[in-house]
Homo-oligomer: A and B are copies of this chain.
Amino acid sequence: MRYLPHSEADRAHMLATIGVADAEALFAAVPPSALQLHALDLPRHSPELSVEAHMRRLAQANHAAGDGPFFLGAGAYRHHVPASVDHLIQRSEWLTAYTPYQPEISQGTLQMLFEFQTQVAHLTGMEVANASMYDGSTATAEAVLMAKRITRRNRVLLSGGLHPQYRDVVRSYLGEDEDLICLSPSPEGQGDILDRLDDRTAAIVIQTPDFFGHLRDLRRAADAAHAIGALLIVVVTEIVSLGLLEAPGALGADIVVAEGQSLGNALNFGGPYVGLLATRKSFVRQMPGRLCGETVDASGRRGFVLTLSTREQHIRREKATSNICTNSGLCALAFSIHLSLLGEAGLVRLARLNHERANTLADGLARLEGVRLLNGTFFNEMTIALPVPAAEVVEALAMRGIIAGLPVSRLLPGDPSVDNLLVLAATELTTDQDISALIEGLREALA
């Protein structure tokens, strides 16, 4: 077997050295009733060429986003990642390195994480960022728990513009909790979470651009929250938007969490992605997750280590700020490389291009009879109301090779008021031809 280095002769030599007759003797502590004597009902080992053929067949049973016009967003975005990013992250020294607990031989990973933390802090306008979370949704849940620890208050308000699955994750993390107030979905960008603030409120959670694509007023929310001693948690699911939108930190956010997938990472049917979490320096000891810090070595040379680990489970065990251990190191690397390649100039150009593409899409949609654009503001994503249920339209267009967007009913089933709503995104990969094909497809589907 190609992954197992021992020959039978090697095994015999080793058993003799150990002084046992066979490998089974090494499993003597296993209760006989539990020892597997017969082969499990599983296929036997297989040549690489057969495995590859099998997996390719499965891959071909999917419609890839690049196979046709594509307008899905809703928390995961199709962007162009430079070829050098994927090449670099596949280097053995990045791909197959362990968690950098031994800093002397992990300076590559550690310096990269330090740079990543700096990039995330600059991008969000915050003072500190951690070395990554699993994804945007779990980072949001951790941020909520963090806010409760900081304020020692219990009530949390989730905006109606928060991604419904993010809301569900917060619910699961908090368990049954009457202090968790989830506002109704707000497809028109309406509704005001600020009315619900009171002195028991730990935090309000606002996503911008929100799930329906609207841009939300963070400054006003921060002022209101701070006035009553609550924190503002800002959620960003499309990180490219920060190339064009004001940094949440500059508008008063106390904790910013984000999904970083858009930079460096493929769609991957939902994972792995990379969660970002940034906050004020004064909250650093309540942060979950790994942190990398600068120091010096015994010769006085600059170096980096994982630090403040007294927050973490492997030191503090049940007193840790979170149970998180493995995070998204390689995805953070991809994010960091892509963002280094963009730089400030490139990210701004990319964001402008996304906005321009979305403008073109919005203008096209607005001209369609029977279709109403719900957004007064957006970055690269928007919601339209169709005269018929959106799910049917999406299914019909999929048959023609067009992935038209997200029918809101998929994430908010059982709410007839959203049945006709469709959320669509455009990115730098969206061509004029894609938009024409969509418009044409919608026109026919609605005829």
Contacts and interface: CB of A to CB of B under 8 A. Distances in A.
Contact of A90 (B52, B87, B341, B428): B87
A58 to B, nearest CB: 16
Nearest to A50: B80
A49 B92 contact: no
Interface string A354-369: 0000000000000000
A10 interface: no
Contacts of A90: 87, 90
Contact of A48 (B2, B52, B80): B80
A277 B380 CA distance: 59
A48 B83 contact: yes
Interface string A1-19: 0100000000000000000
Interface string A87-131: 100111000000000000000000000000000000000000000
A118 B48 CA distance: 27
A49 B429 contact: yes
A82 interface: yes
Nearest to A49: B80
Interface in A391-443: 428-429
Interface residues of A, number: 14
A434 B268 CA distance: 32
Interface in A31-87: 48-49, 52, 80, 82-83, 87
A429 B49 CA distance: 8
Nearest to A428: B49
A54 to B, nearest CB: 13
Contacts of A52: 80, 83
A83 B49 CA distance: 10
Interface string A306-342: 0000000000000000000000000000000000010
Contacts of A2: 341
A87 B92 CA distance: 10
Given A48-B80, A48-B82, A87-B90, 10 more contacts: A2-B341, A48-B83, A49-B80, A49-B428, A49-B429, A52-B80, A52-B83, A90-B90, A91-B91, A91-B92
